[in-house]
Amino acid sequence: MQVFKLFMKVLKKNIFTSMIYIIVFIAISIPMAKSASTEKTFKDTSLKIVVFDEDGTDASRALAGFIGKKHKLKTLENDKDTIMQALYFQSVDYVLTINEGYGEKLLSDDTSALFSTYHMHDSYATVMVSQLLDTYVSAVRAYSAGGAELTDACEMASDAVLQQAEVTIARSKGSENFSESTAAHFRYLSYILVSVIINALCPVLLKLNKKEFRFRTNCSCIKPTSYTVQLFTGSAVFIGALWLALMVVSVVQNGGMFSGIAWYAVLNTFIYTIICTAISLLICSFDPSDNVVNLLTQIIGLGSSFLCGVFIPQSMLGSGVLAAAKFLPAYWYVKVVEMLSGAEVFDGSKLAVYLLIEAGFAAALLMMSLVVNRIRYTSAAIKLPTLRKEAQQ
């Protein structure tokens, strides 16, 4: 218990800057809860879609009419810059051009290049509209293959697909349990977790694992394993308490207890908390100075947050950035949050994969810190003090 108590005392003295992170976080996150409720449902059921009809046949008009039944049709100048700007500021969600020859192609077997589209890639809107168009086109072709006139086929398809679309949206209804502001809260939470844990845990572990301190302790009646176990317990208690506290903040932000898919977000933060702990352990195994720890907190906290879409939605990041971000755990954390918020279609097995990838990161980081520790203890631990001595002279 002696070492555990020491751990807590040292932690208490080192937690000040971390408290600032948490206070700022609460100050930003809680007020956001108020504006939460209205936006989401609207966005789910109705998207803002621009249709440019370059075909101009009955079939294409029927399609535009079909889309208009389900979503809000918007008009826009058919100009690439204008379109991009509108998409960026989310004044429209999807821009569809019905290519010339659409009507004819529907009757023939050729379904290539029916449409050209502009959209934010991978957004929930994209997937939903593309799916809708696909089903619609197959339905029209199925009905006309069954002998119906093209106009009738279009009408029948429209009715059938609209019913089905209802179902699609009903299925992703879970995201009502997870508003856009909750999503923002959880994204920001990852930045808080990584910063606070590295900032608070590293100095404590470094101090209590300093060679001289361990030597001095090894002279006493405390077994080295007991020492390590007590440090581990201390870390676990701290991490657990931090996580619980942040979850309480999240419940407040959420405006009530979590329900439905929101529990996945809780699981997600839990796994991410373990990842952050593993990162801290890895950092500590290199025995860096306090300044280096501060620097690493900034680099890892801010860097991975910007790369992985914590501050900016992933849909707005370049594909190059996203490709690189895949090698960072924060990317997968954010991906889970995005899926829960409906920016990506909800898919349980995909979600499980994301969570497993995160768990994999945690395991890999822990392994790495073990290996580094082992190497340093057996070889460098003997050489390092002399190197330092030489450096002083």
Ligand X SMILES: Nc1ncnc2c1ncn2[C@@H]1O[C@H](COP(=O)(O)OP(=O)(O)O)[C@@H](O)[C@H]1O
Write down the least CB distance from residue 10 to other proteins, Å: 4
Residue 304 is a binding residue for other proteins (CB under 8 A) = no
Alpha carbon dihedral 279, 280, 286, 290, in 10-degree steps, equals: 140
- The one of other proteins, ligand X, none whose footprint includes residue 218, by CB under 5 to 8 A per kind, is other proteins
Q: Which is nearer to other proteins, 121 or 211 (CB)?
A: 211
Structural element, H or E, at residue 74: strand 72-74
- The one of other proteins, ligand X, none whose footprint includes residue 220, by CB under 5 to 8 A per kind, is other proteins
Query: Looking at 45-53, 233-241, 315-323, 379-387, which segment touches other proteins (CB under 8 A)?
Result: 379-387
Contact status, residue 104 vs residue 141, Cβ threshold 8 Å: no
Residue with tokens 């590293």: 202
Contact status, residue 272 vs residue 358, Cβ threshold 8 Å: yes
∠297-230-290 over CA atoms, to 5°? 25
The dihedral through the CA atoms of 174, 179, 180, 185 has a sign that is: negative
**By rule CB under 8 A, what string of x and - marks binding of each residue 14-53 to other proteins?**
x---------------------------------------
Q: What is the DSSP string of 172-192?
A: GGGGGGS-HHHHHHHHHHHHH
**By rule CB under 8 A, what string of x and - marks binding of each residue 220-239 to other proteins?**
xxxx----------------
Q: Which is nearer to ligand X, 89 or 215 (CB)?
A: 215
- The one of ligand X, other proteins, none whose footprint includes residue 138, by CB under 5 to 8 A per kind, is none
Query: Looking at 7-15, 76-84, 189-197, 323-331, which segment touches other proteins (CB under 8 A)?
Result: 7-15
Which of positions 150-189 make contact with other proteins (CB under 8 A)? none
- The one of other proteins, ligand X, none whose footprint includes residue 215, by CB under 5 to 8 A per kind, is other proteins
Q: Which of 292, 382, 384, 387 binds other proteins (CB under 8 A)?
A: 382
Write down the least CB distance from residue 23 to other proteins, Å: 22
Dist. CA 174–CA 168, nearest whole Å = 12
Q: Which of 121, 216, 326, 388 binds other proteins (CB under 8 A)?
A: 216
Q: Which of 126, 190, 217, 304 binds other proteins (CB under 8 A)?
A: 217
Dist. CA 49–CA 96, nearest whole Å = 7
Beta strands 48-53 and 72-74, pairing class: parallel
Q: Residue 211: which of 70, 49, 376 has the closest Cα?
A: 376
In angstroms, the Cα distances linking 30 to 21, 91, 161, 201, 236 are 14, 27, 40, 26, 27
Query: Looking at 4-12, 81-89, 122-130, 194-202, which segment touches other proteins (CB under 8 A)?
Result: 4-12
Footprint on this chain of ligand X (rule: CB under 6 A): 382, 385-386
- The one of ligand X, other proteins, none whose footprint includes residue 14, by CB under 5 to 8 A per kind, is other proteins
Q: Residue 107: which of 69, 167, 59, 54 has the closest Cα?
A: 59
Q: Which is nearer to ligand X, 220 or 393 (CB)?
A: 393
- Helix runs in 255-347, H state only: 262-285, 290-298, 304-308, 319-325, 329-341
Q: Which of 151, 218, 259, 298 binds other proteins (CB under 8 A)?
A: 218
Which residues bind to other proteins, rule: CB under 8 A? 2, 5-6, 9-10, 12-14, 207, 212-213, 215-223, 382-383, 386
